[in-house]
Amino acid sequence: MNEPASREEKLELGVELLAHLEHEELALPDAIDRIETVTTSPSLTREILDAAEKRGVVERENARLRVQRGGTYVNYESQVTQREGEFECRRCGTTITTGHFVKLDAGELGPFGSSCIRKVTGRDGDGGGGDDTGGSGTG
């Protein structure tokens, strides 16, 4: 897996991840949960949020983000790939045997377990908690 090498690459990946959220609105803690799959640096997290707002990707109001680019959510058929192997979920740290990877223009993000991939892309609930069960990735 090719991880983003530079701060700028991580910034671009984080902004693009926010642009591809499934829902129009997201609580700030849930957005940060997703950004932490790119970086755990608080300063870079702030930069990603600021850059996304400046570029018109999101609008911040109190503790919520409103996604400004509707219809750009992650397409599972073309943007999510699965690979078999020994992985650690990038979101929750669980050992998994099927890694799900998201292909974005700015780079590839992953691996994620079957429930964390849905949380990262906004397809499952509110995005909170690290309850990925890993396993075969059939979910």
C-alpha torsion sign, points 104, 109, 112, 115: negative
**pLDDT for position 70:** 58
Average pLDDT of the chain?
82
Distance CA 84, CA 139 (A): 15
Confidence of residue 119 (pLDDT cuts 50, 70, 90): confident
Distance CA 114, CA 134 (A): 6
**CB contact set of 60 (below 8 Å; sequence gap of 6+):** 28, 49, 53, 66
* pTM as predicted: 0.76
Query: pLDDT per residue over 4-52, tens digit each?
Result: 468 999 999 999 998 887 777 889 998 999 899 999 999 999 999 999 9
Name the region of 70 (left: φ>0; alpha: ψ -120 to 50; beta: rest).
beta
Distance CA 104, CA 100 (A): 13
Distance CA 38, CA 90 (A): 9
Cβ atoms 112, 90 nearer than 8 A: yes
Asked if residue 53 has pLDDT above 60, the reply is yes
**pLDDT for position 125:** 53
Distance CA 137, CA 114 (A): 5
> How confident is the model over 51-74, as a mean pLDDT?
83
Could you give the percent of the chain with pLDDT greater than 70?
81
Asked if residue 102 has pLDDT above 70, the reply is yes
